[in-house]
A and B are shown apart, each in its own frame.
Chain A
Amino acid sequence: MGLGELLGTYGQNYLDGLLATWSMTAVSFVFVMVLAVLVTVARVSPVAPLRGLGELYVQVFRNIPGVALLILVAYALPQLRLVLPWRTCVIVTVVLLGSAFGSENFMSGINTIGAGQIEAARSIGLTFTQILRHIVIPQALRTTVLPMTNLLIAVMLTTALGSQVPMTPQELTGVVSYVNTRATGGILAFLVSALGYVLTAFVISLVGNRLDKRVRILR
């Protein structure tokens, strides 16, 4: 099957797949960021049970394989009478996984600030909220631009889990399996999807690097 024929027959599938991957990535990443902030707040809070919960959350979702989590969300939760649409299942899975790594990024961003700065801030009389607003959060955000760029790419790659559930429209990986079970798409059928991912990742990291250069703190 040539490229023309492949795109002629399945072009719409690929386009839908690319858009599905993009939209799921975007939606997931927003929730990843929100949840990562919440988990990080819990992890640095002075309240012991919250800290414990935050640590547990991160350890569980950092270490669970994506497929195992997706299966739990998509096939085990209905046994507890909690049925979500397929697409939501995938997004929930991606968000749970991604936010654990996002929180790790924020934590290492906070840890690079150094206790000395906070002590200095306190000694010139800044209050707790002022320390957070003027010292911790701006620096933590600026040092996490690059890790978060990589996380965005990782989130996009994780949405490939969508190929494991009967989602409509399918995302890029699902399209490859769809095309190849109907026709002998050959290596091209695979390469079209792969390029969709690689080029998107390339653009994301390009933008991320630009942004990082602009806001990076040289130490």
Chain B
Amino acid sequence: MSARTQSAPSVRAALYEAPGPRTKRLIAVGTVLSALVVAALVAAVVRQFYVTGQLAPRYWSFLLEWPTWRFLLQGFVGTVEVALTAGAIALVLGLALMLGRTSGPRPVSAACRLVTDFFRGVPSLLLIYFFFLVVPQYGIRMPAFWMLTLPVALAASGVLAEVFRAGVNAVPKGQVEAAYSIGLSRWKTMRLIVLPQAVRYVIPSLIAQLVVVVKDTTVAYVVSYPDLMQNARVLITNYDALLSMYLVVSVVYVLINFAINKASVYVAHRTGVKIIR
């Protein structure tokens, strides 16, 4: 949802005049006051941890041991496997849906549009329950990996189809007209002229979408697939340390997704394209 490609004269900077002495004093007072409020908030939280006994070493010491992190790392590998597989499937499916919608015959186009809107308009949790509860009713047995990967992939494919479509729309119309006028067919125009450019436009957005995929994989515990979150839950029952473990795992997830977002912004900056979400 953000589109920061160039940070030239920022609006935030332009909003304020160069402060005079009075304003400088006001800002200084505000800075000190708000710093105090923030510090008080942090202190209140730490105090609540202390009062409820959550700072006791038994809740945190296991985090200093290698086996804990080895087990979490195994979970992380599981998360990566699901995220990358789901991402790859969504990439192919999203591209197919977009191509079907933009250059297929009318019934195909309508169907692709319907499918895209459906997967975009349904929560991924509902899709996971579909694969977990509904599919087995038809006698199809699936390993936990696929019960998680397929719904995550389907949910992402709807979004990616729209991302690809935005990329295709960003290619100047004149190029398409030029391609038609030298006698290229619709399909050839798409394949040779439009797609190579469109894909380049959307690479940062595709990277950013990986965040959504990683987030979706955290419900792996529904299907008992050993991902980072599920392994953390196992550790919680072992060590009886709910708060500390969940807090640490949440921070790990935030850092992973933050890194992915940064990578996306970096690529966007390098290639000078906007991030479409």
Contacts and interface: CB of A to CB of B under 8 A. Distances in A.
A92 B4 CA distance: 29
B242 A65 contact: no
A131 B229 CA distance: 47
**Chain A's interface: helix, strand, loop or mixed, by majority?**
helix
B270 interface: no
A186 B137 contact: yes
Interface stretch (A6-14, A43-51, A207-215): A43-51
Given A115-B11, A197-B126, A68 B16 contact: no
A146 to B, nearest CB: 10
Main secondary structure of the interface of B (DSSP, over half): helix
Contacts of A194: 118, 122, 126
Interface string B39-50: 000000000110
B60 interface: no
A91 B246 CA distance: 19
Q: Contact size class for B?
A: 35 or more
A108 B218 contact: no
B134 A49 contact: no
B126 A81 contact: no
Given A67-B229, A198-B121, A72 B30 contact: no
Nearest to A204: B121
Contacts of A59: 254, 258
Q: Which 5 A-B pairs have the closest CB atoms?
A: A160-B123, A63-B257, A115-B14, A201-B121, A180-B133
24 contacts: A49-B35, A50-B30, A64-B250, A65-B214, A65-B218, A71-B246, A75-B246, A76-B243, A79-B54, A80-B243, A108-B4, A110-B12, A115-B10, A115-B11, A131-B15, A136-B15, A150-B1, A157-B121, A172-B126, A176-B129, A189-B134, A190-B134, A198-B117, A198-B121
Interface of B: 1-4, 8-17, 19, 27, 30-31, 34-35, 38, 48-49, 51-52, 54, 117-118, 120-126, 129-130, 133-134, 137-138, 211, 214-216, 218-219, 229, 242-243, 246-247, 249-250, 253-258, 261
Given A161-B125, A172-B126, 9 more contacts: A49-B31, A50-B34, A59-B254, A64-B254, A64-B257, A65-B229, A115-B11, A115-B13, A197-B123
Interface of A: 43-50, 53, 59-60, 62-69, 71-72, 75-76, 79-82, 101, 104-105, 107-108, 110-111, 113-115, 118-119, 122, 128, 131, 136, 147, 150-151, 153, 157-158, 160-161, 163-164, 172-173, 176-177, 180-181, 184-187, 189-190, 193-194, 197-198, 201-202
